[in-house]
Structure 1
Amino acid sequence: MPDRNSRLLRMAAARADFLEYGQQGAAGVPDVLAASWVRSQRAGVDISRPPTDFSDDIDTSSRLVRCAEPVLDQLGNDTADLPLVIALTDSHARLVQRRDSSSAVGRLLDRVDFAPGYNYAEGKKGTNGVGTVLEAGQAVSVVGPEHFTEELQAFACTGAPVIDPLTGRIEGILDVSTLADAWSPLVHTLVKSAAKDIGRNLLLDRNQAQQALFETYLRADARSTRQAVFAFADSVFMANAAAQAMFDPVEQLAVREHATFLMARRDRVSETMALQSGRMIRIRGTRIVSGSDTAGIVVIAEAVTDRASHPWSPAPGPEFDDRVLPRVATAGAETRGLVGDLRRPHVPIASGSSPAWIRACSELRDALTAKAPTIVLGETGAGKFTLVAELFHADHPCGRSVAVDASQLHSGESDLDALLGSTREQTLCIVRNIDQASTEGVERIDELFTTLGSTKAPVTFAATVSDSSLDSDLPFHALLGHFEVAVTIPPLRFRTEDLALIVSRVLEEIAPGRRVRLSPTAMRTVARYTWPRNVSQLREALTHALRARPVGEIQDQDLPNYCQTRSHKILTRIEAAERDAIIAALRDKGGNRVAAATHLGMSRSSLYRKLRSYGITA
Structure 2
Amino acid sequence: MPTPSGTPVPPDGAGVAASRVRFLTGGPVEVAQVRAPILASWQRSCDLEVSADRIEMSYVRDPDLDTPLTRASEPVMRSLGEQLDGQSISIVLTDPSGLVLRRLTADSGLERHLDKVLLAPGFSYGEEFVGTNGIGTALEAGGPIRVFGHEHYAEYLENLACAGVPIQHPVSGRTIGALDLTCWRKDAGPLLLTLARTTADQIRQALLADTGAHQLELFQEYLRACRRMTGVVFAMSSDVVMLNDYARTQLDPADQAALLAQAAEAAAAGQRGPILVRLPTGTPARMYCRPVRAEEEHSGVVVHVKLGDSDNPPVVRRAVATPMLLPGLVGSAPLWLRACDEVERLFRAGEWLAIGGEPGVGKLAVLRAVQLRRQPVGRFLVLDAADAAGDPDWLPDARQAIVEDADSLVIRHLHALDGTRLRALSAALRSAQDSRRERPLWVAVTLTHDHQSKALVQLLQLFPSTVDVPPLRLHREDLQPLATLFLSRLSQGGHLAISPGAMRLLMRMDLPGNAQQLH
With normalisation by structure 2, the TM-score equals 0.59
Moved more, 70-79 or 14-23: 14-23
Question: What's 2:293 paired with?
Answer: 289
Q: In the TM superposition, what is the alpha-carbon distance from 1:48 to its structure 2 partner?
A: 0.8
Query: Taking structure 1 as reference, are residues 306 and 205 closer, same or farther at Cα in structure 2, changes over 3 Å only?
Result: same
Query: Taking structure 1 as reference, are residues 210 and 539 closer, same or farther at Cα in structure 2, changes over 3 Å only?
Result: closer
Q: In the TM superposition, what is the alpha-carbon distance from 1:549 to its structure 2 partner?
A: 8.0
Q: Deviations over 1:94-129 (max 9, x none)?
A: 222111244443333233222222221211111111
Question: What's 1:591 paired with?
Answer: 464
Q: Distance in 2 between matches of 1:68 and 1:193?
A: 13
Conserved 8 A contact 1:68-1:198: yes
Q: Which one of the candidate residues 46, 53, 59 is aligned to 1:54? A: 59
Conserved 8 A contact 1:280-1:307: no
After TM superposition, list the pairs within 5 Å mapping 1:472-491 onto structure 2: none
Q: Secondary structure at the match of 2:268?
A: coil
Query: Taking structure 1 as reference, are residues 592 and 236 closer, same or farther at Cα in structure 2, changes over 3 Å only?
Result: closer
Query: Taking structure 1 as reference, are residues 192 and 301 closer, same or farther at Cα in structure 2, changes over 3 Å only?
Result: farther
Q: Distance in 2 between matches of 1:56 and 1:512?
A: 36
Question: What's 1:193 paired with?
Answer: 198
Question: What's 1:335 paired with?
Answer: none
Gaps of 5+ in 1: 309-353, 355-489, 577-583, 594-618
After TM superposition, list the pairs within 5 Å mapping 1:6-45 onto structure 2: 8-21=13-26, 29-45=34-50
Conserved 8 A contact 1:130-1:175: yes
Q: In the TM superposition, what is the alpha-carbon distance from 1:151 to its structure 2 partner?
A: 1.1
When the two structures are aligned, how many residues end up with a matched partner? 377
Q: Distance in 2 between matches of 1:562 and 1:204?
A: 42
Q: Deviations over 1:426-451 (max 9, x none)?
A: xxxxxxxxxxxxxxxxxxxxxxxxxx
Q: Distance in 1 between matches of 2:100 and 2:410?
A: 38
Letter in 2 for 1:591: P
Question: What's 1:257 paired with?
Answer: 261
Question: What's 2:337 paired with?
Answer: none
Identity %: 29
Query: Taking structure 1 as reference, are residues 84 and 125 closer, same or farther at Cα in structure 2, changes over 3 Å only?
Result: same
Question: What's 2:234 paired with?
Answer: 230
Q: Distance in 2 between matches of 1:6 and 1:205?
A: 37
TM-align CA RMSD: 4.9
Q: Distance in 2 between matches of 1:202 and 1:555?
A: 46
Conserved 8 A contact 2:19-2:29: no
Question: What's 2:111 paired with?
Answer: 106
Query: Taking structure 1 as reference, are residues 259 and 133 closer, same or farther at Cα in structure 2, changes over 3 Å only?
Result: same
Conserved 8 A contact 1:280-1:303: yes
1:147 and 2:152 correspond = yes
Conserved 8 A contact 1:36-1:132: yes
Query: Taking structure 1 as reference, are residues 266 and 590 closer, same or farther at Cα in structure 2, changes over 3 Å only?
Result: closer
Q: Secondary structure at the match of 1:75?
A: helix
Question: What's 1:125 paired with?
Answer: 130
1:266 and 2:279 correspond = no
Question: What's 1:457 paired with?
Answer: none
Q: Secondary structure at the match of 1:86?
A: strand
Q: Distance in 2 between matches of 1:540 and 1:61?
A: 28
Q: In the TM superposition, what is the alpha-carbon distance from 1:235 to its structure 2 partner?
A: 2.2
Letter in 2 for 1:71: V
Letter in 2 for 1:40: S
Question: What's 2:249 paired with?
Answer: 245
Query: Taking structure 1 as reference, are residues 90 and 227 closer, same or farther at Cα in structure 2, changes over 3 Å only?
Result: same
Runs of 4+ in 1 over 6 A off after TM superposition: 2-6, 515-518, 538-542, 548-556, 562-565
Query: Taking structure 1 as reference, are residues 190 and 217 closer, same or farther at Cα in structure 2, changes over 3 Å only?
Result: farther
Query: Taking structure 1 as reference, are residues 585 and 280 closer, same or farther at Cα in structure 2, changes over 3 Å only?
Result: same
Q: In the TM superposition, what is the alpha-carbon distance from 1:149 to its structure 2 partner?
A: 1.1
Conserved 8 A contact 1:280-1:306: no
1:95 and 2:66 correspond = no
Q: Distance in 2 between matches of 1:554 and 1:303?
A: 51
Q: Which one of the candidate residues 185, 210, 219 is aligned to 1:214? A: 219
Conserved 8 A contact 2:89-2:182: yes
Q: Distance in 2 between matches of 1:201 and 1:556?
A: 45
Q: Secondary structure at the match of 2:273?
A: strand
Letter in 1 for 2:217: A
Q: Secondary structure at the match of 1:9?
A: coil
Q: Which one of the candidate residues 76, 80, 83 is aligned to 1:75? A: 80
1:514 and 2:391 correspond = yes
Q: Distance in 2 between matches of 1:26 and 1:557?
A: 54
Q: Secondary structure at the match of 1:118?
A: coil
Gaps of 5+ in 2: 1-6, 309-313, 318-327, 329-371, 443-456, 467-519
Letter in 2 for 1:178: C
Q: Distance in 1 between matches of 2:105 and 2:430?
A: 44
Conserved 8 A contact 2:145-2:164: yes
Letter in 2 for 1:199: R
Q: Distance in 1 between matches of 2:178 and 2:120?
A: 14
Q: In the TM superposition, what is the alpha-carbon distance from 1:52 to its structure 2 partner?
A: 2.8
Q: Deviations over 1:387-416 (max 9, x none)?
A: xxxxxxxxxxxxxxxxxxxxxxxxxxxxxx
Question: What's 1:136 paired with?
Answer: 141
Letter in 1 for 2:219: F
Which one has more relative contact order, counting CA pairs under 8 Å at least 6 apart? 2
Q: Secondary structure at the match of 1:12?
A: helix
Conserved 8 A contact 2:264-2:377: no
1:164 and 2:169 correspond = yes
Q: In the TM superposition, what is the alpha-carbon distance from 1:292 to its structure 2 partner?
A: 2.7
Q: Deviations over 1:191-219 (max 9, x none)?
A: 23322332343344343222211222344
Q: Distance in 1 between matches of 2:390 and 2:8?
A: 73
Conserved 8 A contact 1:126-1:149: yes
**In terms of Rg, which structure is larger?**
1
Q: Distance in 2 between matches of 1:142 and 1:199?
A: 23
Q: Deviations over 1:214-255 (max 9, x none)?
A: 22234444556x755432111222334444323465543322
Q: In the TM superposition, what is the alpha-carbon distance from 1:47 to its structure 2 partner?
A: 0.6
